[in-house]
Amino acid sequence: SLPSFVPALVVGSGYGGAVSALRLGEAGVRTLVLEEGKLWNEPGPDGEVFCSVLDPDRRSTWLRTRTQTPLGTFLWLDVVNRDIERFTGVLDRVEHPNMAIYQGRGVGGGSLVNGGMAVVPERRALRRALPTVSPESMYERYFPRARRQLGVNEISPAWFEHTEWYRYARVARRHANRAGLDSVLVPNVYDFAHMRREAEGEAPRSALAAEVIYGNNYGKRSLDRTYLADAVGTGNVRIESLRRVRSVRREPDGTLVVSVRRIDESGTVLESREVGCRWLFLGAGSNGTTELLLRSRETGSLPELSEHLGQGWGTNGNVMFGRSNPLWDPTGGRQSTIPVVGIDDRNNPHGPVFAESVPLPAGVETFVSLHLAITENPERGRFVFDSASDSARLLWDPDQGQPSVTAARATFDPVNRANGTIYRRDLFGDTRAFEDRFTYHPLGGCVLGAATDGHGRVRGCPGLYVTDGSLIPGAVGVNPFVTITALAERNVEHVLAADIGVR
Ligand code: FAD
């Protein structure tokens, strides 16, 4: 059961929430973390906690009766998605008009389902995204701190060059190089020593067993094994799962009170409670945190919140596409699910493009090179509160994805020309080559320095802080979780010293 009051309360256990919980706990502040998803620690009937991409079951998907992969079809056939039982599964796809937001659900948030790519952005991109944040402090202090605590490591280049599991990535790199593009090996939180033991048959397989977007059973240093384990280890932090925070109100003495619903594994609400706290940290992700604050403002419980709330949302310029290789250029039937190659096009006339080589672990040769490009799409959407559905609705027009597509084409049309490859048109349910109707990297909604002050304090409500990806206005040029983590480290350090009185 929940206490009626705790000094510090954290909503959500993704990157922002986990950083806050650890640093509060280390500082001796008693902290309760409320997470809507499950604690993923019990094996299912097959003996594993998570299911694979190739054989998804109810563990895969958040409260739906069918899986929802971005790659909807193959040869236009509906062979990818499966009917499943409704369950609090680990990957959620939040549908807005014209845009679907993917997010992880569970203790560990996005770290449970993501590809683990741990990328520090270039100075130029960081300055553009966070102009009021000192780059020196980020590069010298908070990025190194985040990388260390996340357990970032690098693949051995020698192993990468010969293992069959990364043939697909070497093919993509060769194709890019032929068109004059650079590529880099990208660090990751997946334990590459474990992956090599998987390849040698000495450790249970996870990255090499088609596990990723529905969770990794082994090898990945997700937040439940890093930040959150250490947070609980301080003795000051408790995590409660299957708790959905609905809204926030402020009492005259400054106590912040959240209303919480306990749900079961089919999503049914079992009970509603209130918990008070002195300091409230929101880490429910771009969609979750923004919705919570919009609901609180629009239903009158926190009427003073900023008019900037809901603004500055973007997709991190995400666009996915596949290229069809000639028969003499196979990508390999055996593919590690952990992406390690980034194609880096800094000279793109439409802004830099950073495109990861994404695995397609079908178990058979597909001759497909799949990419997720991160582009500098300047378009921004806005969340508004829809009282009829009691939820946030994203205002995003279909043509706002076009700059991402244009930039991706400017990088990859020459790659196709140099290699005799063509775009696939059978992967996304219709004949489009570029899928820009979803994002894995939702950013913004409670932007730093707009809806919050320069350290994530929510304007109009003392004691309330935003800690997650909603602080970053729409794009950061590379995969975002290292930036989200480092920014949360920076902000919580300041808040602990300035507001909570801990140095
Ligand atoms: P999240 O990690 O989204 O955590 C939010 C948490 O809050 C969730 O656990 C959620 O269940 C919980 N929550 C939400 N609402 C409530 C509520 N009302 N009450 C209680 N709890 C709530 N990024 C990279 O840098 N590298 C990658 O390789 C990469 N690959 C990705 C692959 C996929 C398939 C996906 C979906 C994302 C990927 N990302 C990647 C993106 C990255 O995971 C996100 O940017 C990151 O997780 C966002 O962190 P966050 O702290 O903002 O929130």
Would the CB of 187 count as within 6 Å of ligand 1?
no
Helix (H) or strand (E) holding 323: strand 318-324
C-alpha of residue 171 to centroid of ligand 1, in Å:
30
Helix (H, G, I), strand (E, B) or coil at 455: coil
Would the CB of 188 count as within 6 Å of ligand 1?
no
Cα 147 vs. chain centroid, distance in angstroms? 16
Q: What are phi and psi of 370, to 5 degrees?
A: -105, 140
The closest alpha carbon to 129, from 456, 447, 455, 344, belongs to 447
Read off the amino acid at residue 240.
E
Question: What pLDDT, on a 0 to 100 scale, did the predictor assign at position 334?
Answer: 96
Would the CB of 469 count as within 6 Å of ligand 1?
yes
Mean pLDDT by 10 residues, the chain (503 residues): 96 99 98 98 97 96 96 84 97 98 98 98 97 98 98 98 98 97 98 98 98 98 98 98 98 98 98 98 98 98 98 98 94 96 95 96 93 98 98 98 98 98 95 97 98 98 98 98 98 98 84
Question: CA 370 to CA 325: how far, in whole Å?
Answer: 10
Q: Check if 441 is active-site.
A: yes
> Tokens 């079951």 sit at which residue?
57
Question: What pLDDT, on a 0 to 100 scale, did the predictor assign at position 51?
Answer: 97
Mean pLDDT of the chain: 97
Complex ipTM above 0.90? yes
Pairing of strands 269-282, 5-11: parallel
Question: SS3 string of 68-110?
Answer: CCCCCCECCECCCCCECCCCECCEEEEEECCEEEEEECCCCHH
**pLDDT tens for each residue of 40-58:** 999 999 999 999 999 999 9
Would the CB of 117 count as within 6 Å of ligand 1?
yes
Question: CA 14 to CA 103: how far, in whole Å?
Answer: 10
Q: What are phi and psi of 22, to 5 degrees?
A: -65, -50
Options 441, 455, 489, 493, the catalytic residue: 441
Task: State the pTM of this model.
Answer: 0.98
Question: What pLDDT, on a 0 to 100 scale, did the predictor assign at position 78?
Answer: 82
Question: What pLDDT, on a 0 to 100 scale, did the predictor assign at position 503?
Answer: 72
Closest ligand 1 atom to the C-alpha of 119? 25
